[in-house]
Amino acid sequence: MSYQDVFVEFWEQVLESGKEGQFAKLTMAKTIGKPDLRNIFMRPVESDGEFKVLLKLRYRSKETEDQEDELTLDEALEVVKSHLQKSFWSVILFTTTKDVIFKINRKGAGSISEKQPTFSDVIFAKIDED
């Protein structure tokens, strides 16, 4: 099964965790090569109404400033998809009930596995105000 089909199943769990108030963090991991982009992660932010996340792009070089954006999960999906199999091989969803790991192998096939939860509470991100 192509990684895109499996990723759709994975993202459904991301959406469900946000709706249920269980989303703790999401991290893109296992970089491909040595890109300047070290990792991408999301934490929930407090907002009225729609569930939103603080999406952070962290860079290796000190010259490149980390980027932060407050986004809906639909907006964050586009960022995550744009880095799959280009910059990162895996995405880890941390919820208060389980950790869900999405991986792409070298042949381009996707897989999902689950582990015991790393987080027991949802901790909201602090947004840096300039």
Say yes or no to pLDDT of 35 above 90.
Answer: no
pLDDT of residue 86: 87
pLDDT of residue 52: 93
* % of the chain with per-residue pLDDT over 90: 72
pTM for the full predicted model: 0.90
CA distance 34 to 11: 26
pLDDT of residue 127: 65
Say yes or no to pLDDT of 83 above 80.
Answer: yes
The predicted model gives 4-23 an average pLDDT of 96
3-state secondary structure of 79: helix
